[in-house]
Structure 1
Amino acid sequence: MKPLFALLIFAFSLILTGCAKPTPVQSKDYSAFKESKPRSILVLLPKNHSTDVDASHSFLSVVTHPLAEGGYYVFPVAVVEETFKQNGLSNAEDINAVSITRLHQIFGADAVLYLNVKEYGTSYQLINSDTRVSASARLVDLRTGKELWKKSATASSNENDGNYNNGLLAMVVNAAIQQIVNTASNKSYEISGITSARLLNAGSSGGLLYGPRSPEYAKAAM
C-alpha cells in the first residue's frame, strides 16, 4: 500500500504544479530610453568570448542592418574602425574600454552599442552538428552615461530540426556531413544574421524602440 500511496501523492503534486499560475513576466523599463531619444548609434567592435577568431568582425557586419531598419543613423563601421586604428586601437578590448566622454567627443553620436559574442561556430556531437551564435547587446547614452537598454539572443541551425526520427547511423552520418558543409559554407555568418535580428529588431518583444527615421516612431509617440 505504501508504494501506491506514495505514487498517488506524487501524481497529485504534479497536478497542483500544473495548475499553479505562471510567474508573470517582468516588462522592460524603457523610461531612460524614452527620455534619451537617441537618433544616432555608434556600434563598437564586439568582444569575442567564442573560440572563433573571426567572430567579432563577422557579427559586426550584420548588426547595422536591423539598426538602420529600426530608424537610427548608424555610423559606418569601416569608418569607425579606421578612426580607432588611427588612434592606435585595433582590438575589441581596447576599443570597448574607451570612455563615453571620449567617444562622444570623437564621433558625436547620441548612444553607443556594446556587443558581446558569447558563442560562434559549429560544434560536432556524436549524432548532431550545431552551428550556434549567441550575443548580448547594451545601449548606453553617450551624453549622460545612462544605460538605455540591454538584451541577449541566440540562434541555432538545429532549430526545428526534424532528424530525431531517423536511425542512429543516419544521424551520425548526417552530423558529419553537416559539420563539413557548415564549416565550408560559413554557416555561422548566416546564423549571425538571425541572431542580430532577434537581438536588435525594433518593436520586438524586449527589443529596441523605433528610432526617429522609422515611420513607426511617430505612431509610438501618439
Structure 2
Amino acid sequence: MKNIDPGKMKNLIITISLGLLIALGSVSCAFRILQPPPAPTVLEEEKLPYKVAILPFVNKTSNPEAGTIVRKMFYNFFSSLNYRDLEPYVIDENLKTNNLYTDITGGKNVSPQKLGQLLGVDAVIYGEVISLGKTYALVYSDNQAGLKARMVRCSNAKPVWELEHTIHIEEGDVPLSPIGLAATIFKTALSHKQATHIKAASELCMQMIATMPNPPGVSEPPPKIQALVHNGAGKLLQPGDSIKVAMIGDKNQIASWSIPPLIENLPMKEKEPGVYIGAYRIKARDRLAHGRMVGILRSKKGVGSQWMDTLGPVRIGKPTVLPPVIANDYVLTIDKSPYLVTGALVVKPGVTLTMNAGTVVWFRSLGLIVKGELQILGTR
C-alpha cells in the first residue's frame, strides 16, 4: 500500500461489499450468487507498470449511465493498489482536447502507444460494460453487472491483465433499502434503482480488482472506505439548501469531504463507530455548475484514502433566470450558470443563442423554440 500526501489520496480495496451493508438497513429478501470470478489472464513477464490510466469505458448496455458508474467504481477499488493512477477527469479532459474521447467511448481502436504518450502513463486499462441493471423472471429479479477489462502496456501493447466477469444478485419482491447504514442516516435522493446499480457495480469491481497483480507496497495501509452517499445528486441546490454527506469506513479516523473548488476538506463527525456525517448549507455567493464530490479518510499519522462519488455531479447556486424570449444575441456562460427556464424559451429570427462549455440550463417545463440560431460550444 502507498503512503500518500494530501495532494494524492488513495483507496484500499473494500473487504466488505456494499451489498453486505444492506443488512444494516431494512430487512430484505435478497440472495447473492457467490460465484468467484474466473481466473484472469495475467502476464508478468516484465516488471509491472508504474503509472496507469483507466480510460473511459465503452457502454454496451441500454443504461446511459452504466459506463460512468462502473468506471468510477472500478477506479475507487483500483486506487487501493500500489500503482500510480490518474484521476478520471484528468484523463477525460486530455482525451477531449486531443479529439479522442468519442473514439474511446465508441470502442474504436486507439493504440496504447499513442495513449501512453498523451497521458504520460506506462499502461492503460480498457473497459467494456456489458450489463448493469435488472432482468425479471416470475417473482424474482436478477440484478447484474458485467465488465470486460484489460490492462495493456503502452510500450509494446502487450496485455498485463485481462478479465471478463458478470455478477448476479437475485432479489425477491421485498424492496431493498438503499445501500446500507450510510443511506439511512438521512433521507437522500438516492433512488432504489441507483442503489441497486451501485451495489452491483461495487460487487463486480471489488471481485475483479482482487484478481489483478499488485506491485509491492512500501507504506502502511491507508484507512478503508466502504461507501459514500449524499443528497445532492440530480438536483439544483440553491442558497438555504443543505447538502448532507455520509461515509462509512474504518473507525476512529479523521474524515472530511470536498467538492472542489467550492468546498474543500470540510470535517465530518463520527456519529457511530465508522459512520461519518457532514453537512453544508448553501450560501448566496456559492455557485458551481458541475461539482465532483470526494470523501477522504485519514489516519492519525496522515495516511489517507479517498472515494470518488458515483452518484453524479453536484450543481450549486442561485440560478440566472432566462427571459421567455431571446430577442438579441445572448451568450450563456459558466460564470452565470446554472440558468433556469421557467416556461417555453423562444429564440427570435436573426438572433443567436450561444451556450459555452460547462453551461447548465434547467427547464421547469419542456419547450425550446429556435427561430434564429443555437450554438453549443465545447465538449463538456
With the shorter chain as reference, the TM-score category is 0.5 to 0.7
Q: Provide the C-alpha distance between the structure 1 equivalents of 2:89 and 2:140, rounded to a whole number of angstroms.
A: 37
Q: 1:69, CA displacement in angstroms? A: 1.1
User: Is 1:208 matched up with 2:212?
Assistant: yes
SS of alignment partner, residue 78 of structure 2: helix
Tell me, in whole angstroms, the C-alpha distance in 2 between the residues paired with 1:214 and 1:153.
31
2:148 aligned residue: 136
Aligned length: 168
- Aligned CA distance change for structure 1 residues 29 and 87 (closer, same or farther; 3 Å): closer
Q: Structure 2 matches for 1:113-132, cutoff 5 A? A: 113-132=125-144
Query: What residue number does 2:166 align with?
Result: 154
Quick check: 32-41 or 48-57, which moved more?
A: 32-41
Going by fraction, where is helix more abundant, 1 or 2? 1
Give the match for residue 189 of structure 1.
Answer: 198
> Structure 1 segments of 4 or more deviating over 6 A?
26-29
- Measured after TM superposition, the shift of residue 36 of structure 1 is 3.5
Aligned to 1:15: none
Q: Normalising by structure 2, report the TM-score.
A: 0.40
> Take 1:109 and 1:71, find their aligned partners in 2: how far apart are those partners?
15
Looking at both structures, which has the greater relative contact order when contacts are Cα pairs under 8 Å and sequence separation is at least 6?
1
CA contact (8 A) 2:113 2:155 kept: yes
Counterpart of 1:75 in structure 2 is 86
- Partner letter of residue 211 of structure 1? P
* 1:215 positional shift: 6.0
Q: Distance in 1 between matches of 2:67 and 2:47?
A: 28
- CA separation in 2, counterparts of 1:28 and 1:123? 26
* C-alpha separation in 2, matches of 1:27 and 1:86: 37
- CA–CA separation in structure 2 for the residues paired with 1:28 and 1:89: 28
Alignment of 1:10-29 (within 5 A): none
Aligned amino acid, residue 121 of structure 2: A
Over the aligned positions, Cα root-mean-square deviation in angstroms equals 2.6
Cα displacement string for residues 67-126 of structure 1 (whole angstroms, at most 9, x for unaligned residues): 221211111101101111122233344575222121111112111111111111122332
Tell me the alpha carbon deviations over residues 13-47 of structure 1, each in whole angstroms, 9 at most, x when there is no partner.
xxxxxxxxxxxxx97664x4241421111111111
TM-score by length of 1: 0.66
Rate the CA distance shift 1:111–1:38 in 2: closer, same or farther, 3 A. same
**Are the aligned partners of 2:40 and 2:162 in contact in 1 as well (CA < 8 Å)?**
no
Higher strand share: 2
CA contact (8 A) 1:44 1:96 kept: no
**Structure-1 residue corresponding to 2:115:** 103
Q: CA deviation at 1:53?
A: 0.9
Q: Are the structure 2 counterparts of residues 125 and 27 from structure 1 closer, same or farther at C-alpha, using a change threshold of 3 Å?
A: closer
Identity value in percent: 20
Aligned AA (2:75): T
Confirm whether residue 84 of structure 1 aligns to residue 88 of structure 2: no
Q: Tell me if structure 2 keeps the 8 A contact 1:123–1:131.
A: yes
Counterpart AA for 1:182:
H
Deviation per residue, 1:120-164 (Å, 9 max, x gap) = 112233211222101121111001111121112222332xx6x6x
Match of 1:40 among 47, 51, 69: 51
Q: Which amino acid aligns with 1:208?
A: M
Partners in 1 of 2:144 and 2:205 — Cα distance? 12
The answer for unaligned runs of 5 or more in structure 2 is: 1-37, 177-190, 221-380
Give the whole-Å Cα distance in 2 for the aligned partners of 1:214 and 1:192: 30
